[in-house]
Amino acid sequence: MVPLAARPPAALPSSMSKNPESAVALPTSADVDAAARRLAGVALRTPLISSPVLDALTGARVFLKAETLQRTGSFKFRGAYNKLSSIPAERKADGVVAFSSGNHAQGVAHAAKLLGMPSVIVMPVDAPRPKRERTKAFGAEVVLYDRDTEDREGIARALAEKRGATLVPPYDDPFIIAGQGTAGREIMEDLAALGLKPDVAVIGASGGGLAAGISLALKARAPDVKIYTAEPEGFDDTARSFRSGKHEHNARMSGTICDALMSNTPGNITFAINRELIGEGIAASDEEVGRAVAFAFRELKLVVEPGGAIGLAALLAGRLDLKGKIVVAVLSGGNVDPELFHKLVA
């Protein structure tokens, strides 16, 4: 297999791309395997947990991938470290610039610290306080913006150009996607150790990087698994894009407790992968997400942020008929604002 960095780019079909002339090297399951080798001994191998209570409620055998326990409290560290590790040595001193509501911000900031690289993160002013504080604690310079009136990517690109730094997008990058896919690789290995294969997988989606990476890993080992994306109601651009076959946009830029899941439209690379390997999405309301956060705390003894609980929320709300099936869902992050968490679990 030709390494990702050296692979010729493949043009995206115009129906899948905001820019028909764009060309990318789409990642494969082999790139996920390469990312796993790069992350070995650095990223934590998070547990695949189960709950008799959850099984009884769904009629299925459900396994939850607890990425809440990953470095920085979310899956985002995987993709960030894989991406930053791929930057040529001669460019590392120039640092990186990223834009994020919080989890990617922390992942990039922590990966940059481990690799001895400076980092600048563009974050919304309404990002949860713990996410902003922890990003700074990892040594990053934080630049704030208004998500309703300003273009975070435009701000980040201008900063990267001015400083000669590498731009690290939150999801629409082959190395980011491959890194996130290592969570799916671990899921398959842990299920195989139990003599199982998944029938259904539910993965939260914002820009689609986690869903794309995990679907690459799952489909390589279990081609018949049915995968669904999960999104907040009113912010289900991925599900609507699946149905229309083109990029759909959300009407609002804010207005859900799932602060990590408010990307306006799927990424070019992620949609190219997800339309092929997934193709169907479900949604959950903020009220249902709140109940899932409380369930995770009370029954699983885990702190899960609203965006990280979206897949669990869809399962608990009965969005799918899961009776008798082996089901996997990802708890993608645990960086929740303390005041909101108290309100949801009280």
In this prediction, residues 189-207 reach a mean pLDDT of 98
136-150, 187-201, 225-239, 314-328: least confident range: 136-150
90-114: per-residue pLDDT in tens?
999 999 999 988 899 999 999 999 9
pLDDT computed for residue 8 by the predictor: 43
pLDDT computed for residue 17 by the predictor: 36
pLDDT bracket for residue 21 (50, 70, 90)? very low
Examine the pLDDT at 5 and tell me if it is beyond 60. no
Examine the pLDDT at 10 and tell me if it is beyond 50. no
pLDDT computed for residue 126 by the predictor: 87
DSSP codes, 10-59: EEPPGGG-SSTT-EE----HHHHHHHHHHHTTTS----EE--HHHHHHHT
End-to-end CA distance of the chain: 52
From 217, 273, 310, select the one nearest 29 (Cα to Cα). 217
Give me the residue label for tokens 């705390």.
297
CA 221, CA 238: separation in Å to the nearest integer? Answer: 24
Examine the pLDDT at 15 and tell me if it is beyond 60. no
Higher-confidence position of 8 and 158: 158
Examine the pLDDT at 314 and tell me if it is beyond 80. yes
202-217: per-residue pLDDT in tens?
999 999 999 999 999 9
CA 240, CA 327: separation in Å to the nearest integer? Answer: 23
From 78, 75, 131, select the one nearest 106 (Cα to Cα). 131
Tokens of 230: 């999960």
236-272: per-residue pLDDT in tens?
999 999 999 999 999 998 899 999 999 999 999 999 9
Quote the pTM value: 0.92
Domains in the chain: ranges and CATH: 23-75+174-345 (3.40.50.1100), 76-168 (3.40.50.1100)
42-78: per-residue pLDDT in tens?
999 999 999 999 999 999 999 999 999 999 999 999 9
Is residue 263 a contact partner of residue 237, using CB atoms and an 8 Å limit?
yes
Give me the residue label for tokens 């001895």.
116
Helix (H) or strand (E) holding 339: helix 338-345
The per-residue pLDDT of the chain, averaged, comes to 93
How many of the other CB atoms lie within 10 Å of CB of 37?
Answer: 9
